[in-house]
Amino acid sequence: MEIVAVIDFETTGLSPAQGDRATEIAAVLLENGKVVDRYQSLMNAGVRIPSYIETLTGISDAMIRKAPKAAAVMQEVSDFVGDYPLVAHNASFDSKFWDAELAHIDRVRPQQFACSLLLSRRLFPQAPSHRLGALVEYANLPVAGRAHRALADAEMAASLFVKLIGELGQRYEVHEVSHALLCKIQRAPKHQLNQCIQRHRQEESGH
């Protein structure tokens, strides 16, 4: 498939609409199932980190004070990602923060997100949990580092994403999985994946 960018944010909470800000961003570029480039940075948005968040992520106020400004980091990472299609685990979360942080620098996201959580629910419905760490364990994927740090989570989401594409290719004999197809599959009713893929094939071939 085309090059995609898998991203992961660490933040001060769950909702930019409630004033939460990003504290760390990572993006990895995937080409032919391999990570070919990486970006990672802490980012200083001038906000305090709640203690339970520091416990969760290991990211402290002291670390953030020394980090580059959020605006500079977002300019760098959005340049790094360009218009490659995006992927995240629970993309509804990361897309909210991506859009909110881009808005602070007057940029607008041009591309769509695919979601490895929605895809996992469809392709691995039997998994005991669809949390990123649990899926990595379930699929026997390598642990990339400390969970709840952006680069480790982005690397693990990337390897999960590669696994999902492989599964899709095998199970449904889709030889060229596109980001556009994934965006359709992740919205399709679980019992209609086959129909969704057939319809996509027909649209692609112009019938």
Partner DNA sequence: TGCCAGGCCCTCTTTAGGGCCTT
Binding residue (CB under 7 A) for DNA from 75, 90, 112, 178:
90
Per CB under 7 A, contacts with DNA among 52-81 are 53, 56-57
**51 interacts with DNA by CB under 7 A:** no
Task: Return the beta strands (E) in 80-150 as ranges.
Answer: 86-88, 113-115
- State the Cα angle at 193 between 189 and 195, rounded to 5°: 105
Is the Cβ of residue 24 or residue 29 nearer to DNA in the bound state? 24
**11 interacts with DNA by CB under 7 A:** yes
CB of 11 to DNA, least distance (A): 5
- Applying CB under 7 A, what is the total number of residues that bind DNA? 33
**41 interacts with DNA by CB under 7 A:** no
Q: Which two tokens stand for residue 184?
A: 């359709």
Q: For residue 132, which of 121, 117, 122 has the smallest C-alpha distance?
A: 117
- The number of residues making up the chain comes to 207
Q: Which two tokens stand for residue 68?
A: 């580059």
- Is-contact 10 148, C-beta < 8 A? yes
Is the Cβ of residue 121 or residue 200 nearer to DNA in the bound state? 121
Is the Cβ of residue 175 or residue 190 nearer to DNA in the bound state? 190
- Is-contact 88 157, C-beta < 8 A? yes
Q: List interacting residues with DNA (CB under 7 A).
A: 8-11, 13-15, 17-18, 23, 53, 56-57, 89-90, 92-93, 117-118, 121-122, 125, 129-134, 148, 153, 186-187, 190
